Copies of this chain bind each other. A is one copy, B any other.
């Protein structure tokens, strides 16, 4: 991060229009990248910034329960790729006909092509056993790690670095290969690299696998399944109509 950028990161409450645009641009143009990786190594300063962004995620009781394992050894990547292949075939057995062949035709990971893989883990023992706010819902620990993943993803997007989350993997094998202690959970296995392009839409949307839901279909008022409410008339209209920036 250069000095100009440094100076801009103040704690003042107001964001300029350009800074605000940066947030929304990253959010709307972020992609789960499985192809288009280039072999160009990721600049070390860029990687440091991205990791630091992840480390500044919210965490339950400020427990910061994440670790980032940076991977570029081919041997490790190959073992992970083997696990992907095996899980992919297993999953395909749940499908039939054109759904199955379509699924098998998708490019679903870039483990070997991307210059860097990162495994982000959850360590429940960090600062434990008592962590503020984790007692009623223990899952909030792993939720914190997911927030770190999303920080990393958005920072990477702004740096022109593509990120793919490979979830077709055996966590058992991942733990063996990366030598994780029994109590540590591998949460995300990510592939990172500069890309030749960021797709205009998510791959599975372009392929016609699933449609993007409308915002109005995921918002309820006051309780589950309530699609209209007299206390929320304006927002209800806005959500239906004002989506040209989506």
Where the two chains meet, the residues of A that have a C-beta atom closer than 8 Å to any C-beta of B are: 1-2, 4-6, 8-11, 13-30, 32, 44-45, 47-49, 51-53, 55-58, 60-64, 66-73, 76, 87, 90-91, 94-95, 99, 103, 106, 108, 121, 127, 130, 132-137, 139-140, 142-143, 146-147, 149-151, 153-155, 158-160, 165, 167-171, 177-181, 184, 187-188, 195, 197-198, 200, 202, 204-205, 209-210, 212-213, 215, 218-225, 231-232, 234-235, 238-239, 242-246
Contact = CB atoms under 8 A, between A and B. Distances in A.
A158 B32 contact: no
Contact of A21 (B5, B94, B170): B5
A70 B222 contact: yes
Contacts of A238: 44-45, 48
Rank and list the top 6 A-B pairs by shortest CB-CB distance, nearest first: A22-B22, A19-B22, A146-B146, A18-B18, A150-B150, A8-B21
Contacts of A169: 136-137
A169 to B, nearest CB: 6
A242 B3 CA distance: 12
Chain A binding site: helix, strand, loop or mixed by DSSP? mixed
B44 A24 contact: no
Contacts of A20: 5, 22, 158-159
